[in-house]
């Protein structure tokens, strides 16, 4: 290969790298996925115990459906905040290590494009709880989260798209196993996150150590 061709190829690689780095937020750490997944599994386990406690009449909310509902909403909120905080921390650490800005226009676009479907879905789900359509809550959270990931994947690592598809499939399947919503939820938010996080760590961060 001639020297000019070599340098032209280098130039094209540079262009590609800058286009990607300027339009995608690529510091998302695999550990963020693993941490969010662990939070979800822990939360599902606590929720599972509360529900069995209610059904067997032994738990703190025995015989009180409203207490159980409030407890479950509180658990979901704590899990969401813990997952978000731990995911953010690992990504923050990685972006510091890479020397990339965490709050650039790429991060802003990623945030907006994932938050929009999640906020819209969140409002719909609160209304479902209000109307006591409990069976739809787990499928709906998974479906809207999946849509958020597919939408956001254009602004971060492309692999996020596959996690999104997997969440969408889990959500749609769980529509047909309605009373097992918690299992679908634990699988989607727990297991899938951990698999995705581990795979991403293996692919991108393993050699950074």
Token digits for 73? 């909403």
CA 75 – CA 53 distance, rounded (Å) = 15
Task: Please tell me the distance from the alpha carbon of residue 70 to that of residue 68, in angstroms, as a whole number.
Answer: 5
Do 118 and 83 contact (CB within 8 A), yes or no?
no
Whole-number minimum distance, CB 19 to another protein, in Å?
A: 5
> Which residue lies nearer to another protein by CB, 104 or 122?
104
For another protein, the closer of residues 49 and 105 by Cβ is: 105
Q: Quote the tokens at residue 106.
A: 């790429």
> Least distance (Å) from another protein to the CB of residue 99?
8
Binding site for another protein (CB under 8 A): 1-2, 4-5, 8-9, 11-12, 14-15, 18-19, 21-23, 99-101, 104-105
Shortest distance, CB of residue 7 to another protein, whole angstroms?
A: 10
**CA atoms of 209 and 148, how far apart (whole Å):** 31
* Closest to another protein by CB, 5 or 209: 5
- 3-class SS at 26? coil
Nearer to another protein, 22 or 70 (CB): 22
Would you say 44 or 156 has its CB closer to another protein?
156
Confirm if 35 and 196 have CB atoms less than 8 A apart: no
**Could you tell me the smallest distance in angstroms from the CB atom of residue 110 to another protein?**
13
Nearest approach in angstroms of CB 17 to another protein is 8
- CA angle (30 as vertex; 29, 35 as ends), nearest 5: 100
């Amino acid at each position: 290969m001639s020297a000019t061709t070599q340098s032209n190829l280098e130039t094209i690689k540079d262009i590609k790298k800058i286009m990607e780095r300027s339009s995608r937020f690529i510091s998302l750490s695999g550990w963020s996925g693993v941490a969010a997944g662990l939070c979800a599994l822990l939360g599902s386990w606590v929720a599972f115990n509360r529900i069995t406690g209610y059904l067997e009449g032994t738990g703190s909310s025995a015989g009180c459906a409203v207490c159980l509902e409030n407890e479950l909403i509180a658990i979901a909120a704590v899990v969401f905040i813990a997952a978000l905080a731990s995911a953010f921390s690992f990504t923050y650490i990685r972006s510091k290590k890479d020397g990339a800005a965490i709050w650039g226009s790429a991060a802003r676009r990623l945030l907006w494009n994932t938050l929009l479907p999640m906020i819209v879905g969140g409002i719909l789900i609160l209304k479902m709880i209000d109307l006591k359509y409990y069976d739809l809550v787990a499928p709906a959270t998974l479906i809207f989260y999946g849509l958020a990931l597919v939408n956001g994947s254009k602004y971060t690592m492309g692999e996020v798209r596959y996690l999104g598809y997997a969440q969408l499939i889990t959500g749609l399947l769980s529509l047909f196993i309605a009373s097992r919503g918690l299992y679908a939820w634990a699988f989607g938010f727990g297991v899938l996150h951990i698999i995705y996080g581990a795979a991403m760590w293996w692919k991108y961060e393993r050699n950074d150590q």
